[in-house]
Amino acid sequence: MWNYEKYEAGFSAGDDMLEDAMQRQVEDGLNMMGIWDAVKLGQELDGELDGPNLVDRDDTLLEELLESKEWYPYASKTMLLLDICDNLPRLTVSEALMRTFIWILRECGAKDVPSLDALRKTQKALRGQCSVPTIPCTSVQGKNFCIMIPVQ
């Protein structure tokens, strides 16, 4: 006989474990980038039930970054935004479409619009500086895969 309460209890316990693991993964990523300080965040939010929630805080952080005049390692805000568009997951931007973006930006009078060659050179340089080192491998069955080298 099916015991719904046992099933539901096991499911919610699994959900809690999954949520905890996902939260730890996000916190670890933010720690690596140097923008997560759980103690400071706890102090800011302590006792402020009507205070800013984390979504508003993330939006504010993003707005501050985009309003900043420092785009290191990019030469300009436009270069940064074009690189973001070119690297969106599940959305491949062809060479022709990127050329169209650049042309549209220039026609609209946008500042600091890079050439496609300059964008590609910057992307190549950043891959060399910031990418996760990987080793290309081939399995016994002939399938290609990569092994990521942990950064320590």
What pTM was estimated for this model as a whole? 0.48
Q: What is the pLDDT along the chain (152 residues), one digit of tens a residue?
A: 444 454 445 545 555 666 666 667 666 666 665 555 655 656 555 544 444 444 455 567 667 666 666 777 888 889 988 999 998 888 889 999 999 999 999 999 998 899 999 999 999 999 888 878 888 999 999 999 988 887 66
What are 44-82's pLDDT values in tens digits?
Answer: 555 444 444 444 555 676 676 666 667 778 888 899 889
> How far is residue 30's CA from residue 40's CA, in Å, rounded to a whole number?
14
What does the alpha-carbon distance between residue 145 and residue 138 come to, in Å, rounded to a whole number? Answer: 6
User: For position 7, what pLDDT does the model report?
Assistant: 46
Closest Cα to residue 82, out of 61, 96, 101?
101
Structure tokens at 51: 């205070």
Distance CA 12, CA 67 (A): 42
